[in-house]
Homo-oligomer: A and B are copies of this chain.
Amino acid sequence: MLTSLAADRDTGTRHADRLRQALEADIVTGVFKPGERLDEQRLADRFGVSRTPLREALAQLAANGLVTLQPRRGAFVVSLTFQEIVERFEMMAALEGMCGALAARRLVASDREALLNSLEACRREAADGDSDSYYQANEVFHQIIYRAARNAFLAEQSRQLQARLQPYRRLQLRAGRRIAASFAEHERIVAAILAGDAEGAERELRDHVLIQGDRLRDFFASLAHAGED
């Protein structure tokens, strides 16, 4: 059901595309860790294909910024510096804000309904206090906003960047306090969109994302000082 929101063109009978999707999933979900080397032959064996289509899949992932290809050295899962993560959160905040502003202006009945349903799902998961299921409900909530912006390109770019930040974002929501705060922000976001308040929706969504960035900054800062005393 999530994939139906994504704008991945069905690429038919090409191993390279199937491999790209599988590798992307493994990178995004953290099966392959940042910095890890991806051995072509080993992966080809694992998927039961030769190196040729696998290399094409790696080329696509490199173009998408998920892996880096070091000449004569191989493919590595991209490992972002703190600065690079901050830059991407800054971009993500702007994209989400833009989605919110457009959604507020263009909301159609079906998106309005989906948005309200998703908010209720978030409310339930937040009450349960299970961070994993809230994380999933949260993801659906944002995907609905991407779609409600009625700009397929913007939605696809947002989805891609969101996926790329997923490993880093996952570090943060664990704290129970954050879930309640996140849901309160969701409520304000929905209120602004339903009211047609484009600027309000933009601001709420931007801040909603930036707060995650700030929390990540704190997380990194605590890492940097770990073991000092």
Given A55-B56, A60-B59, A62-B60, CB of A71 within 8 Å of CB of B12? yes
Tell me the count of chain A residues lying within 8 A, CB to CB, of chain B: 37
Given A59-B60, A98-B94, CB of A84 within 8 Å of CB of B153? yes
Q: How many copies does the complex hold?
A: 2
Q: Is A117 an interface residue (CB 8 A)?
A: no
Please report the C-alpha to C-alpha distance between residue A148 and residue B56 in the assembled complex, in whole angstroms.
Answer: 35
- Complex partner residue of A52 from B52, B64, B90, CB under 8 angstroms: B52
Contact A91 B59 (CB under 8 A): no
Q: Is A37 an interface residue (CB 8 A)?
A: no
Q: Which of A82-98 contact B (CB under 8 A)?
A: 84, 87-88, 90-91, 94-95, 98
Measured between beta carbons, the chain B residues less than 8 angstroms from A9 are 68
Please report the C-alpha to C-alpha distance between residue A87 and residue B147 in the assembled complex, in whole angstroms.
Answer: 13
Q: Is A23 an interface residue (CB 8 A)?
A: no
Measured between beta carbons, the chain B residues less than 8 angstroms from A60 are 59-60, 62-63
- Complex partner residue of A153 from B62, B91, B102, CB under 8 angstroms: B91
Given A52-B52, A56-B55, A62-B60, CB of A154 within 8 Å of CB of B87? yes
List A residues at the B interface (Cβ < 8 Å): 9, 11-14, 16-17, 20, 52, 55-57, 59-64, 68-72, 84, 87-88, 90-91, 94-95, 98, 102, 151-154, 157
